Amino acid sequence: MRKCLQLLLAVFLITAAGCSEKTETSEKNEDGSTTVRIVMKDENPSNPASVKYFEALEKGLKEDEKLNVKFELVEMPQGNYAEKLNLLLMSGDIPDMIYFQGGDQQIADQDLLEDLTPHIEKSKYIKDKLEPWNKKRLENYPYLLWIKPLSQKTPVIRGDWFDKMSSSKALMDDPTIDNYYAFFKELNTNPPGGEGKPSYAFTAAGDIEELNAIFNMSFGLTSSWLKQDGGFVYHKVSAEEKEKLAFYQKLYKEGLLDPGYLTKEWDTKEKAFYDGEAGVITGTAGKVIDIYNGKMMQTNGDEAAVKVLPPAKGKGQGFGAADVTKEARGVAISSQSEKKELAFKILDYLASPEGQMIDRLGFEGEHYTTDSGEIDLTDTYYEQWFARFWEPSEFTPDMPLKKPLLSKEAETSLKLVNDFYQEDNLFILPEEYIANWDAMENLYKEYSTDIITGKRPLDDFDAFVKEWEAAGGKEITEYANEQLN
C-alpha cells in the first residue's frame, strides 16, 4: 500500500514540478478578498461552529492586519483523518494550509510542504512565542508548526471519589507502583461511588498508550531507546517492557483495567468516566483536562471536580519522554501554493494579541462577556471552547480576566508535565526502514494485547522479541546505535 501511495505521489509531482516556482498571486475575488483554502480535522463548511470561527478570523485579519481573506474550508469525509487527508493530497488537491495529524512525512519527502524557517525568522509574533520543544522540533523538521503546551497525558479522577478513598493520601505522598495498584484495587473492591461505581479502575481509548503515560517511566522505560550494556535497545523489546506487561496483565486479570478498552473510542471512554463506570482516565494536560473538569461538574455537580494524579514512581518518574524529532501534529503550508506568504501572515496573526483573543477566548457573548470591564469567561467556554491554533504559555489580553483561562486542576496538569519534562532520544527513520517498522509495531501490538488479556502467557514475550528482530529489528537496532553513539 505504501509503495502504491508513493507511486501516486510521484505521478502527481511530474505534473506539479513545472509550477513549483510560482510567485504570490494577486488574483482577487469580486469583493476584493483573496481565497485561502484550508483543511483541518473537525473543521468543515457543514459545521456551524467552524464557519463562525473562520468568519471571525476573517474579520480580525481585515480590521487588524488589513488582510482581506476569504477562507474556504475543505470538506473532509468521516473516518481516519490522516488516511482521508493523504487521499485528498495524492489526488492533486493540495489546499494552501493543511493541518496534519500523522501522514505528513511522506508528503514532506516529496517537497510538497513549505520550509517554515525563513517565514518564522521574519515573523512579527511567532518567533517570540515558540516553546523550547517547538524550536527543537522545527530544527529537525521545519514543515509543521504547533504552538501548544506539551501533549503528555495526565490521569484524573472525580474529586469526591478521591476524597472518600483511604489510599488517596499514600498515592499522592508516594506514587509508587505498589501504591498505584492499591489505589486501583480500592476503586474496584470498595467503589467510592457506591455499588458497582466504578466498575473498573481505569479505561482507555483503544490501546495501552494512555496507561503507559502513568507507568512507563516507573518501570524504567524512560526513553524510546534504552542505554544498556554500552549500547541501545528499543524499549518495547526490553526486560523493563516485559515487567510492565506482567503488571498490566495483573490489572486486567483482576478487573482493574476495563476489559473493553480495546474497542473504546475517545467519546465512549469519556462517557464511561462521566457516567461513573471508570474511575480514572487520562487526557492531554491543560485544556483537555479543563474540558473533563467542566463536563464532570456539569454531569455530577461541583463536588465532582476532577483531581489530577501524579505519574507513577519507580526506576523513573514522569508522563513519558517528549519526542523532539518533529511535531506529531500541526499546520503546514503547501509548497505548491501561490499564497504562501499570505498563509504564513495568517498563522503569524494568530500569535498576535488580537489573534489570540479570537483563538483563545472564542466569541463574545457566548464564551465570555466584558460588561464589568473584565473578561468574564462563561461556563460554555470552560465546557466547549478550545484554541484551533496556538496556545503559547504567555497570553495577556487587553482586559483583565475575571477568572483564569484554566481551572486549578488543568493548571496543575500543565505544571506536572513541565516539572517532569524530559526529551526523548527518538530519531526520524529513513524511508527504507518505514515499512518494516510499521510491521514491527503491529507485531508489538498483537503480542502485548494478547499478553495483557491473557490469551498468551507472559513468556511469549521472548518469542515476540525474536520475531521483532527477524522482522527488521536487528538492522534498525544497529542503525539506532550508529545514530545514538
- pLDDT tier at 26 (50, 70, 90 boundaries)? low
* Residue numbers of the domain that contains 55: 8-149+326-397
Where is the domain boundary, 379, 397, 415? 397
Contact 106, 9 (CB under 8 A): yes
Q: Is the dihedral of CA 228, 233, 239, 244 positive or negative?
A: positive
Task: Using the structure block, give the residue that is written with the C-alpha cell 510521484.
Answer: 10
The predicted pLDDT at position 3 comes to 46
Whether residues 197 and 297 share a domain: the answer is: yes
With 80 as the cut, is the pLDDT of residue 261 above it?
A: yes
pLDDT in tens, 392-447: 988 889 899 999 999 999 999 999 999 999 999 999 888 899 999 999 999 999 99
The predicted pLDDT at position 20 comes to 41
Residue type, 298: Q
Domain count, the chain: 2
Whether residues 333 and 235 share a domain: the answer is: no
Does some domain include residue 306? yes
pLDDT in tens, 285-344: 998 999 999 899 999 999 999 999 999 999 999 999 999 999 999 999 999 999 999 999
The predicted pLDDT at position 396 comes to 87
Does some domain include residue 80? yes
Whether residues 110 and 159 share a domain: the answer is: no
Whether residues 13 and 123 share a domain: the answer is: yes
Does some domain include residue 421? no
- Average per-residue pLDDT in the chain? 93
Whether residues 443 and 393 share a domain: the answer is: no
The predicted pLDDT at position 24 comes to 54
Does some domain include residue 405? no
Where is the domain boundary, 397, 413, 444? 397
With 90 as the cut, is the pLDDT of residue 7 above it?
A: no
Contact 332, 113 (CB under 8 A): yes
Whether residues 176 and 105 share a domain: the answer is: no
Q: Degrees (nearest 5) of the Cα angle 460, 461, 467?
A: 90
How many Å separate Cα 19 from the centre of its chain? 34
What does 258-297 look like in DSSP terms, one character per residue? -TTTTT--HHHHHHHHHTTSEEEEEEETTHHHHHHHHHHH
Output the domain CATH number for residue 340: 3.40.190.10
pLDDT (mean) for 450-462 = 98
With 80 as the cut, is the pLDDT of residue 476 above it?
A: yes
- pLDDT tier at 379 (50, 70, 90 boundaries)? confident
The predicted pLDDT at position 18 comes to 42
Whether residues 189 and 295 share a domain: the answer is: yes
pLDDT in tens, 178-234: 999 999 999 999 999 999 999 999 999 999 999 999 999 999 999 999 999 899 999
Does some domain include residue 415? no
- pLDDT tier at 141 (50, 70, 90 boundaries)? very high
Whether residues 363 and 467 share a domain: the answer is: no
Contact 216, 248 (CB under 8 A): no
The predicted pLDDT at position 357 comes to 95
Q: What is the dihedral of CA 291, 294, 298, 300, to 10 degrees?
A: 100
pLDDT in tens, 41-84: 999 999 999 999 999 999 999 999 999 999 999 999 988 899 99
With 50 as the cut, is the pLDDT of residue 13 above it?
A: no
The predicted pLDDT at position 383 comes to 79
Contact 103, 292 (CB under 8 A): no
Whether residues 276 and 183 share a domain: the answer is: yes
Whether residues 222 and 310 share a domain: the answer is: yes
pLDDT in tens, 341-366: 999 999 999 999 999 999 999 999 99
How many Å separate Cα 321 from the centre of its chain? 14
With 70 as the cut, is the pLDDT of residue 378 above it?
A: yes
The predicted pLDDT at position 19 comes to 42
Percentage of the residues of the chain whose pLDDT score is greater than 70: 95
Does some domain include residue 417? no
Whether residues 189 and 308 share a domain: the answer is: yes
The predicted pLDDT at position 40 comes to 97
Does some domain include residue 391? yes
pLDDT (mean) for 269-292 = 96
Whether residues 180 and 126 share a domain: the answer is: no
Q: What are 333's strand-pairing partners?
A: 97
Does some domain include residue 453? yes
